[in-house]
Structures are given as structure tokens and as C-alpha cells.
Amino acid sequence: MISFILCLALLIIGYFTYGKVVDNTFGPDDRETPAVSINDGVDYVVMPQWKLFLVQLLNIAGLGPIFGAMQGALWGPIVFLWITFGTIFAGGVHDYFSGMISERNSGSSVAEFTGKYLGGVMQNIMRVFSVVLLIMVGTVFAVGPAGLIVTLCKNGGLSGVLTTTLFWLILILVYYFIATFISIDKIIGKIYPVFGLCLIIMAVGVIIGIYTNPEFTIPEIWSHMYSMHPAGTPIWSFMFITVACGAISGFHSTQSPLMARCMKSEKQGHFVFYGAMVAEGIIALIWAAAGCALYKVTGGLNTGLAEILSGGQSAAIYDVCSKTMGGVGIALAMIGVVVCPITSGDTAFRSARLTLSDWFHIDQGRYANRLKLCIPVLGVGAVLGIGNAVGAIDYTVIWRYFSWTNQTLAMIVLWAASMYLVSEKKNFWITAVPATFMSAVSSTYFILAPECLGGLINSKTAEGAVVYNTAVAYPIGIIFAIVLLVIFLRAAKKHAAA
């Protein structure tokens, strides 16, 4: 338990110390923000700081810091280190700069400000990449909750249309359309803070349940400085990809511009962007601790956790909440597994609309213009979602690539932030170092993962276990990261000489 407390303390201290360093490096001032200067009553709307924080937290969190952290706990308490230092030095930095650079560029979407600092080619790549990613995220976060609601209805003894996935999917998509279309302060600004509090309360309840139950003990990092993964999956770089939202996530950079358009003052950025990421890191740390403390260990491996995770994310969350909080926990778990994905899904579609509006320069202040984008975006989501509901489309293969593309997006945004700091003649190492690190993470995973190049270079034992070819992947990943750093430093030097 001592290592958990130390990591928790480091996260809190990191917000007040390194978070302030990040804020001072950017240099917020008293200039007029887009929410004030543009204020279209739809996407550019001033909201109070506490709402900005809770909406940002829910936008970037959802089930990410819960299920991702529990999956990361398969490697054992060593995951605490990645959650802690990843949040402080990578995730918080990424979220802060993606939000503040967007704010400095009239609240532009991630594709637009990335293109401004990395060039037109990268801009077009990011436009397509981010729209496809956002629609995919939104659709999956419609299909998943629909299936969970059906399960709840069946368990509750209901029958008929209420127990069909298609019915609930259509209702969720209708809600998505409304939430994507209307002003951000009408639904998102009103109910998201409540659900954000539920996410925090659920995490607090879990850790109190662990500490008050003598049967549960959070293992120490120093006693388990090895991989406890039952399948023998390497820590590098699989753990760093698996625990995405709880340490650093590229998806956050698609969400930060939403709040960048609603800030009254630049000086709110430290609390809203860096602070929300630290809060998510704390939530992830708690759920990772639950994964390490509640389940049996066999031969030094987390076999019990692997077993519960095999039942799916809803089953795992339900089990943890019921064991730590009883009936209250079960109620919170149901809110979490249904509401959290939906709240991430609707903001994903909203971000897709805004990305397209920035891309094609379509003013979103008019109803007709919003309809021009809402209809095709939600239309594609509906076709994909209904196709999945009736068994015509299988997301399993596609979704396996999400974790990698998510961290690759974070890598690109950090490089864009580095070029921004170069252009501002400020300390670019604060973003260049995590950008280099994430470049090594993403490239190594791409080479090792079975769904990527791993199928070509890895082998299998007679029992069918995967033997990862780390001797090839590790050097290539490190070299790739160094090459990107060299390219960046040359570009920075050229810019300085111009």
C-alpha cells in the first residue's frame, strides 16, 4: 500500500509543481479568448471553470482510465509507475498543450493546429485520420452501451423491443444527433458535470473499499519489479499502449479543443487541461490498484485478474464495485458502464463535426450548416452501428488498432507542440522528450503486436504461446525515435536561423 500512496502523492505534487512549470513555459496571458471574441452561442460559449474541468474530465475519461488501468494491472503494480510518471510528464503535457495551442488558434481542431506547425501534408493526414478515428470511437461507444442496456433489461425480467440492441442503439444515436447539433452548454454543459462527479465518487468508493477490507492488500512495486502478465506479454511497449487514457492518450487532443472554445481566461488552462489529466491519472491509479489487490495470484502471475477481464469490461467493473462497495457500488457501476461510454461517444461525434467544419471552413453558427455535417457524420455512424448490431460488420479487428493509433496520435501532437514552442522561442524539451518517448513506444508496438507486424517476426511455442521477437523490435523502435528527434532538432535549428 505504501507504493500506491507514494504514487498518489506524486500525482498531486506533480500538478502543483511540474504542472506549473508547463503552464509557465506556455505563458498564459490576459488576451481575449475565442469563447469571448467569437462566442457563436453553439460551440464558442463561456462556461465556469468548475464545469470546464468536469466536462473535460468526462470527455477524456469515459471508461478509459478504468478498464485500461485494470488491463494494465495484468503486468502487476509496476503499472503504477507508468500511470504516475506518464501522467505528470507526458499525458498532462499533451493535454495542456493540445488545449492551449487550440485556444491560441481560435479553438481550432487538432488537425488544423497540427498542420500549422508540422506542414500541409501532415494536416491532411490528420484531418482524415482524426475524422475516421472519431466516428469509429463514437460508433463503438454507441454499440457497446446499447448491448449493456439490453443485458440489464433482460436481467430485470423485461422482454420485447426493450431487449433488442437495435432499439437502444437507435435511441442512443438520436441522442448523439441532438447533443452534436445543439449548443454545448445545453446538454453537455449541464449534465456532464454530474456524471463527472459520479466517475470521481466511484473511484473514491473503490479505494475506500480496498483500504477498509482486510482481505484486500495492494502489493508493493519494489516486491514485484517484474511482469506478472499471465500470457508473458512484454512490459515494453505493450503496457504503455494498453494503459492509454490513464497515462497519455491521443484521443484527448481531439477533445481538448471543445473546452478551448469555452474558456473565459487562458489562466484556466492549468486547472482545466493539466488538472483533468492528473485527476484521470488518479482514477486510473485507483483502478489499477483494485486490479492488483482483489484477485488471486498464481505462481507470481495475475491469473485471477485475467479471468475476470475475460468476461468483458462491464463484468470486470461490476465485480470490483460490488466487492468494494456492495449495493451502492453496483448502482455506480451500472451508471459507469452505460453513461461513461455514451458521454465519450457524443463528444467524439461533436469533435468530428468541428474537425470537418474547420477543414471545409463551414460556419457552425447557422442551423443549416450544422445539419450539413451532423447528418453525414451521424449517418455513417448509424450505418456502421446498425451493421454491427445485426451482425453484418465486426468491429473486433478494427478496434484492435485503436490503442496503437491512439498513442501514435499523441506522439504527433507532442511533436506539433514542440514545433510550436520552437516558433515561440521557448523551452521545447518539455514536449520533445515525451514526444521522443512516445515515438519509441508506438513504433516498437507496431513491430511487435500480432495485429501489426508481429505476425511476421514473432514465433510460437508448441503450446501456441507467442514468443515476441524483442531483439529486432526494440532496437528498431529506439532508432526510429532517435531519427525523429534528429529531424526535429534540424527543423528547430533551421527555424531559429530563419
Give the tens place of pLDDT for each residue, 196-217: 888 888 899 999 999 999 999 9
Q: H/E element holding 467?
A: strand 466-467
Cis peptide before 418 (omega within 30 of 0): no
- Global pTM? 0.93
The values of phi and psi at residue 45, to 5°, are -140, 130
Residue 311's pLDDT is 79
Counting beta carbons within 10 angstroms of the beta carbon of residue 164, is it exposed (0 to 12), middle (13 to 18) or buried (19 or more)? middle
Residue with cell 474547420: 358
Q: What is the mean pLDDT of residues 334-338?
A: 73
460 φ, ψ (degrees, to nearest 5): -130, 150
pLDDT over 70 at 93, yes or no:
yes
> What pLDDT was estimated at residue 174?
92
| Whole-number Å distance between alpha carbons of 103 and 17 | 23
Instruction: Show the domains of the chain with their CATH numbers.
Output: 2-402 (1.10.4160)
- Mean pLDDT on 296-313: 90
Q: ∠ CA(338), CA(344), CA(349), 5° rounding?
A: 125
Kindly indicate the confidence band of residue 328, based on its pLDDT and cuts at 50, 70 and 90.
confident
Is the pLDDT at 220 greater than 60, yes or no?
A: yes
Q: What are the grid coordinates assigned to 422, written together?
A: 520552437
Which parts of 17-162 fold into alpha helices (H)?
18-26, 34-37, 49-61, 69-72, 79-86, 92-104, 110-118, 120-155
pLDDT above 70: percentage of residues in the chain:
97
**pLDDT at residue number 32:** 96
76: left (phi over 0), alpha (psi -120 to 50) or beta: left
For the chain, percent of residues with pLDDT exceeding 90: 64
Sole residue written with cell 463528444: 347
Q: Is 298 helix (H, G, I), strand (E, B) or coil?
A: strand
Q: Do the Cβ atoms of 63 and 205 come closer than 8 Å?
A: no
- Residue carrying C-alpha cell 451482425: 391
List the grid coordinates of 276: 483533468
How would residue 392 be classed by pLDDT, with cut points 50, 70 and 90? low
Which pLDDT score is estimated for 135? 86
Lowest mean pLDDT among 273-277, 298-302, 335-339, 366-370: 335-339
Residues 6+ apart with CB under 8 A from 23: 96, 269, 270, 274
The residue-averaged pLDDT of 378-392 equals 78
